[in-house]
Amino acid sequence: MASLFNEGQKHYDAGRIVQAFELYRRAIVQILDHEDVLQKVPGVPEQMAQEVLAIVWINLLACFRESGSPFTQESSPEAYSLVFSFRPTAPLRAHPQFKGTQGKRLLKAMQITASFALGIMAWEKGDRATTSKRYKEALDVAATEPAFNTMTPGLKHLDRVIAYEVQTIRENLAGLIQNDSITTSMIGSGGGLRRDVLNAPHTRIGEAGIAQQDSFVVASDACGRAGCTERGVGFKRCSACKKTAYCSVECQREDWPTHKATHK
Protein backbone atom coordinates (compact mmCIF):
# COMPACT_ATOMS: atom_id res chain seq x y z
CA MET A 1 0.00 0.00 0.00
CA ALA A 2 2.75 2.47 0.98
CA SER A 3 4.27 2.32 -2.49
CA LEU A 4 0.89 3.03 -4.13
CA PHE A 5 0.21 5.98 -1.84
CA ASN A 6 3.71 7.42 -2.19
CA GLU A 7 3.54 7.09 -5.96
CA GLY A 8 0.17 8.80 -5.87
CA GLN A 9 1.63 11.68 -3.88
CA LYS A 10 4.39 12.11 -6.45
CA HIS A 11 1.85 12.32 -9.26
CA TYR A 12 -0.26 14.77 -7.25
CA ASP A 13 2.73 17.02 -6.53
CA ALA A 14 3.56 16.98 -10.25
CA GLY A 15 0.02 18.02 -11.16
CA ARG A 16 -0.96 14.62 -12.55
CA ILE A 17 -4.20 14.45 -10.59
CA VAL A 18 -5.89 11.70 -12.62
CA GLN A 19 -2.99 9.31 -12.03
CA ALA A 20 -2.83 10.25 -8.34
CA PHE A 21 -6.56 9.69 -7.94
CA GLU A 22 -6.38 6.16 -9.34
CA LEU A 23 -3.42 5.28 -7.12
CA TYR A 24 -5.28 6.55 -4.04
CA ARG A 25 -8.21 4.32 -4.97
CA ARG A 26 -6.00 1.29 -5.43
CA ALA A 27 -4.22 1.96 -2.12
CA ILE A 28 -7.55 2.07 -0.27
CA VAL A 29 -8.71 -1.20 -1.83
CA GLN A 30 -5.35 -2.79 -0.95
CA ILE A 31 -5.71 -1.81 2.71
CA LEU A 32 -9.33 -2.91 2.92
CA ASP A 33 -8.66 -6.28 1.32
CA HIS A 34 -5.24 -7.25 2.66
CA GLU A 35 -3.98 -5.02 5.48
CA ASP A 36 -4.72 -3.76 8.97
CA VAL A 37 -7.19 -0.88 8.58
CA LEU A 38 -5.90 0.65 11.84
CA GLN A 39 -2.21 0.86 10.89
CA LYS A 40 -0.77 4.28 11.70
CA VAL A 41 1.96 6.62 10.54
CA PRO A 42 4.14 7.78 13.46
CA GLY A 43 5.04 11.41 14.05
CA VAL A 44 2.31 13.10 12.01
CA PRO A 45 1.16 16.64 12.98
CA GLU A 46 -1.83 16.95 15.31
CA GLN A 47 -3.99 18.40 12.54
CA MET A 48 -3.66 15.20 10.49
CA ALA A 49 -5.12 11.74 10.95
CA GLN A 50 -2.64 9.06 12.00
CA GLU A 51 -4.39 6.13 10.36
CA VAL A 52 -2.94 5.39 6.92
CA LEU A 53 -6.36 4.46 5.57
CA ALA A 54 -7.85 7.76 6.77
CA ILE A 55 -5.03 9.76 5.18
CA VAL A 56 -5.46 8.13 1.77
CA TRP A 57 -9.26 8.25 2.05
CA ILE A 58 -9.26 11.99 2.72
CA ASN A 59 -7.00 12.53 -0.31
CA LEU A 60 -9.38 10.56 -2.54
CA LEU A 61 -12.43 12.45 -1.28
CA ALA A 62 -10.67 15.78 -1.78
CA CYS A 63 -10.46 14.98 -5.49
CA PHE A 64 -14.22 14.35 -5.63
CA ARG A 65 -15.04 17.43 -3.57
CA GLU A 66 -13.10 19.96 -5.63
CA SER A 67 -15.43 22.47 -7.31
CA GLY A 68 -15.79 21.55 -10.97
CA SER A 69 -13.96 18.27 -10.35
CA PRO A 70 -13.48 15.96 -13.36
CA PHE A 71 -14.12 13.03 -11.00
CA THR A 72 -17.81 12.14 -10.97
CA GLN A 73 -20.03 9.09 -10.69
CA GLU A 74 -20.02 8.84 -14.48
CA SER A 75 -16.31 9.45 -15.10
CA SER A 76 -14.97 7.43 -12.15
CA PRO A 77 -17.50 4.65 -11.43
CA GLU A 78 -15.13 2.40 -9.47
CA ALA A 79 -14.01 5.15 -7.11
CA TYR A 80 -17.55 6.47 -6.77
CA SER A 81 -18.85 3.00 -5.89
CA LEU A 82 -16.14 2.71 -3.25
CA VAL A 83 -17.20 6.00 -1.66
CA PHE A 84 -20.90 5.14 -1.98
CA SER A 85 -20.32 1.85 -0.17
CA PHE A 86 -19.33 3.86 2.93
CA ARG A 87 -22.52 5.91 3.11
CA PRO A 88 -24.07 5.55 6.59
CA THR A 89 -27.13 3.71 5.26
CA ALA A 90 -25.04 0.93 3.68
CA PRO A 91 -25.42 -2.53 5.28
CA LEU A 92 -23.13 -3.02 8.29
CA ARG A 93 -21.86 -6.28 6.80
CA ALA A 94 -20.40 -4.32 3.88
CA HIS A 95 -17.19 -3.60 5.81
CA PRO A 96 -16.38 -6.37 8.30
CA GLN A 97 -12.74 -5.23 8.51
CA PHE A 98 -13.60 -2.57 11.09
CA LYS A 99 -13.61 -4.41 14.41
CA GLY A 100 -13.55 -3.29 18.02
CA THR A 101 -13.99 0.21 19.40
CA GLN A 102 -11.22 1.78 17.32
CA GLY A 103 -12.26 0.01 14.14
CA LYS A 104 -15.85 1.18 14.48
CA ARG A 105 -14.61 4.70 15.24
CA LEU A 106 -12.60 4.76 12.02
CA LEU A 107 -15.58 3.39 10.09
CA LYS A 108 -17.74 6.23 11.43
CA ALA A 109 -15.10 8.74 10.32
CA MET A 110 -15.17 7.29 6.82
CA GLN A 111 -18.97 7.27 6.76
CA ILE A 112 -19.14 10.93 7.80
CA THR A 113 -16.64 12.06 5.18
CA ALA A 114 -18.19 9.84 2.50
CA SER A 115 -21.59 11.41 3.14
CA PHE A 116 -20.07 14.88 3.00
CA ALA A 117 -18.45 14.13 -0.36
CA LEU A 118 -21.64 12.57 -1.74
CA GLY A 119 -23.54 15.65 -0.60
CA ILE A 120 -21.13 17.96 -2.39
CA MET A 121 -21.35 15.87 -5.56
CA ALA A 122 -25.15 16.08 -5.41
CA TRP A 123 -24.85 19.86 -5.01
CA GLU A 124 -22.68 20.04 -8.13
CA LYS A 125 -25.55 18.33 -10.00
CA GLY A 126 -28.05 20.82 -8.61
CA ASP A 127 -29.71 18.19 -6.40
CA ARG A 128 -30.07 20.17 -3.19
CA ALA A 129 -32.53 17.71 -1.64
CA THR A 130 -30.02 14.86 -1.83
CA THR A 131 -27.31 17.19 -0.54
CA SER A 132 -29.33 17.94 2.57
CA LYS A 133 -30.10 14.24 3.02
CA ARG A 134 -26.42 13.30 2.89
CA TYR A 135 -25.46 16.08 5.30
CA LYS A 136 -28.12 14.90 7.76
CA GLU A 137 -26.85 11.32 7.53
CA ALA A 138 -23.32 12.50 8.31
CA LEU A 139 -24.48 14.51 11.32
CA ASP A 140 -26.49 11.56 12.64
CA VAL A 141 -23.32 9.43 12.66
CA ALA A 142 -21.29 12.22 14.28
CA ALA A 143 -23.85 12.45 17.08
CA THR A 144 -22.90 8.90 18.13
CA GLU A 145 -19.21 9.80 18.58
CA PRO A 146 -18.75 12.75 21.01
CA ALA A 147 -15.20 13.57 19.89
CA PHE A 148 -16.40 13.95 16.29
CA ASN A 149 -19.52 15.93 17.10
CA THR A 150 -18.06 19.17 18.45
CA MET A 151 -14.90 21.11 17.60
CA THR A 152 -13.26 21.66 20.99
CA PRO A 153 -9.74 22.70 22.08
CA GLY A 154 -7.29 19.86 22.50
CA LEU A 155 -8.61 17.58 19.78
CA LYS A 156 -5.89 15.78 17.84
CA HIS A 157 -5.47 13.69 14.73
CA LEU A 158 -8.60 11.88 13.51
CA ASP A 159 -10.85 13.49 16.14
CA ARG A 160 -9.74 16.95 15.05
CA VAL A 161 -10.04 16.22 11.33
CA ILE A 162 -13.56 14.82 11.61
CA ALA A 163 -14.80 17.41 14.11
CA TYR A 164 -13.79 20.12 11.64
CA GLU A 165 -15.60 18.29 8.83
CA VAL A 166 -18.71 17.97 10.98
CA GLN A 167 -18.61 21.67 11.82
CA THR A 168 -18.47 22.48 8.10
CA ILE A 169 -21.31 20.06 7.30
CA ARG A 170 -23.44 21.61 10.04
CA GLU A 171 -22.80 25.11 8.69
CA ASN A 172 -23.58 24.02 5.12
CA LEU A 173 -26.84 22.36 6.15
CA ALA A 174 -27.87 25.40 8.19
CA GLY A 175 -27.27 27.54 5.10
CA LEU A 176 -29.46 25.27 2.97
CA ILE A 177 -32.29 25.38 5.48
CA GLN A 178 -32.01 29.16 5.86
CA ASN A 179 -32.15 29.63 2.08
CA ASP A 180 -35.24 27.42 1.92
CA SER A 181 -36.93 29.42 4.65
CA ILE A 182 -36.23 32.74 2.93
CA THR A 183 -37.34 31.50 -0.50
CA THR A 184 -40.55 29.83 0.65
CA SER A 185 -41.50 32.87 2.73
CA MET A 186 -41.10 35.07 -0.36
CA ILE A 187 -42.89 32.77 -2.80
CA GLY A 188 -45.13 30.65 -0.64
CA SER A 189 -45.14 26.86 -0.41
CA GLY A 190 -47.58 24.75 1.55
CA GLY A 191 -48.19 21.24 2.71
CA GLY A 192 -44.80 20.58 4.30
CA LEU A 193 -43.53 18.86 1.16
CA ARG A 194 -39.82 18.46 0.79
CA ARG A 195 -39.13 18.54 -2.95
CA ASP A 196 -41.19 21.59 -3.79
CA VAL A 197 -40.18 23.21 -7.07
CA LEU A 198 -40.78 26.94 -6.93
CA ASN A 199 -40.75 29.19 -9.97
CA ALA A 200 -38.38 31.62 -8.35
CA PRO A 201 -34.94 32.69 -9.53
CA HIS A 202 -32.20 31.21 -7.35
CA THR A 203 -28.71 32.65 -7.45
CA ARG A 204 -25.84 30.27 -6.92
CA ILE A 205 -22.24 31.42 -6.58
CA GLY A 206 -19.62 29.01 -7.87
CA GLU A 207 -16.03 28.98 -9.01
CA ALA A 208 -16.99 30.08 -12.52
CA GLY A 209 -18.97 33.09 -11.32
CA ILE A 210 -22.61 33.77 -10.51
CA ALA A 211 -25.36 31.71 -12.12
CA GLN A 212 -29.10 32.06 -11.75
CA GLN A 213 -31.62 29.24 -12.03
CA ASP A 214 -35.28 29.83 -12.92
CA SER A 215 -36.56 27.17 -10.56
CA PHE A 216 -35.52 26.31 -7.03
CA VAL A 217 -35.90 22.90 -5.37
CA VAL A 218 -36.56 23.16 -1.66
CA ALA A 219 -34.07 20.87 0.04
CA SER A 220 -35.69 20.60 3.45
CA ASP A 221 -39.00 19.90 5.15
CA ALA A 222 -41.36 22.56 6.49
CA CYS A 223 -43.59 21.57 9.40
CA GLY A 224 -47.16 21.10 8.17
CA ARG A 225 -48.82 22.61 11.25
CA ALA A 226 -50.12 26.11 10.61
CA GLY A 227 -48.16 28.61 12.65
CA CYS A 228 -45.07 26.42 13.11
CA THR A 229 -41.97 27.88 11.46
CA GLU A 230 -39.65 24.91 11.99
CA ARG A 231 -37.74 23.67 8.96
CA GLY A 232 -35.28 20.81 8.81
CA VAL A 233 -34.31 17.52 7.17
CA GLY A 234 -35.92 14.14 7.77
CA PHE A 235 -39.20 15.25 9.35
CA LYS A 236 -41.70 12.40 9.83
CA ARG A 237 -44.65 12.36 7.45
CA CYS A 238 -48.31 11.63 8.05
CA SER A 239 -48.68 7.84 7.81
CA ALA A 240 -52.01 8.19 6.00
CA CYS A 241 -51.23 10.61 3.16
CA LYS A 242 -47.40 10.21 3.13
CA LYS A 243 -47.15 13.88 2.16
CA THR A 244 -47.45 16.33 5.03
CA ALA A 245 -44.37 16.46 7.27
CA TYR A 246 -44.15 17.47 10.92
CA CYS A 247 -41.24 18.58 13.06
CA SER A 248 -42.56 16.74 16.13
CA VAL A 249 -45.24 14.38 17.37
CA GLU A 250 -46.75 17.29 19.28
CA CYS A 251 -47.22 19.35 16.12
CA GLN A 252 -48.76 16.40 14.30
CA ARG A 253 -51.23 15.77 17.11
CA GLU A 254 -52.18 19.44 17.30
CA ASP A 255 -52.71 19.61 13.54
CA TRP A 256 -54.64 16.35 13.25
CA PRO A 257 -58.18 17.80 13.68
CA THR A 258 -57.52 20.05 10.68
CA HIS A 259 -55.33 17.71 8.65
CA LYS A 260 -57.62 14.66 8.82
CA ALA A 261 -60.21 16.55 6.77
CA THR A 262 -57.82 16.48 3.79
CA HIS A 263 -57.94 12.65 3.74
CA LYS A 264 -61.59 12.54 2.73
Mean pLDDT of 186-204: 41
Q: What is the pLDDT of residue 189?
A: 47
Which pLDDT band, with edges at 50, 70 and 90, does 57 fall under? very high
Q: Which CATH architecture has domain 2-183?
A: Alpha Horseshoe (1.25)
Which pLDDT band, with edges at 50, 70 and 90, does 213 fall under? very low
Mean pLDDT of 192-208: 37
Q: Does residue 179 or residue 212 have the better pLDDT?
A: 179
CA distance 59 to 235: 34
209: left (phi over 0), alpha (psi -120 to 50) or beta: left
- Percent of the chain at pLDDT > 90 equals 49
From the centroid of its chain, how far is CA 172? 10
Q: Does residue 132 or residue 108 have the better pLDDT?
A: 108
Name residues whose C-beta falls within 8 Å of residue 229's C-beta, 6 or more positions apart in sequence. 181, 223
Closest CA to 130 of 144, 143, 117, 112: 117
Q: Which of 17-31, 55-69, 196-210, 230-244 has the lowest mean pLDDT?
A: 196-210
Which pLDDT band, with edges at 50, 70 and 90, does 245 fall under? confident
Mean pLDDT of 26-33: 95
3-state secondary structure of 202: strand
Tell me what the pLDDT averaged over the chain comes to.
Answer: 81
Tell me how far CA of residue 51 lies from CA of 2, 55, 73, 171, 181, in angstroms: 12, 6, 26, 26, 40
Does residue 239 have a pLDDT over 80?
A: no
Q: What is the pLDDT of residue 91?
A: 85
Give residue limits of the domains in the chain: 2-183, 188-263
Mean pLDDT of 46-75: 92
Does residue 119 have a pLDDT over 80?
A: yes
Cut 0.85: pTM above it: no
Which residue type occupies 166? V
Q: Which of 123-127, 150-154, 184-188, 253-257 has the lowest mean pLDDT?
A: 184-188
Q: What is the pLDDT of residue 211?
A: 34
Q: What is the pLDDT of residue 234?
A: 63
Tell me how far CA of residue 259 lies from CA of 179, 232, 237, in angstroms: 27, 20, 12
- Percent of the chain at pLDDT > 70 equals 80
Name residues whose C-beta falls within 8 Å of residue 145's C-beta, 6 or more positions apart in sequence. 105, 108, 162
Q: What is the pLDDT of residue 212?
A: 36
How many residues comprise the chain? 264
CA distance 38 to 128: 35
Q: What is the pLDDT of residue 172?
A: 86
Mean pLDDT of 56-69: 90
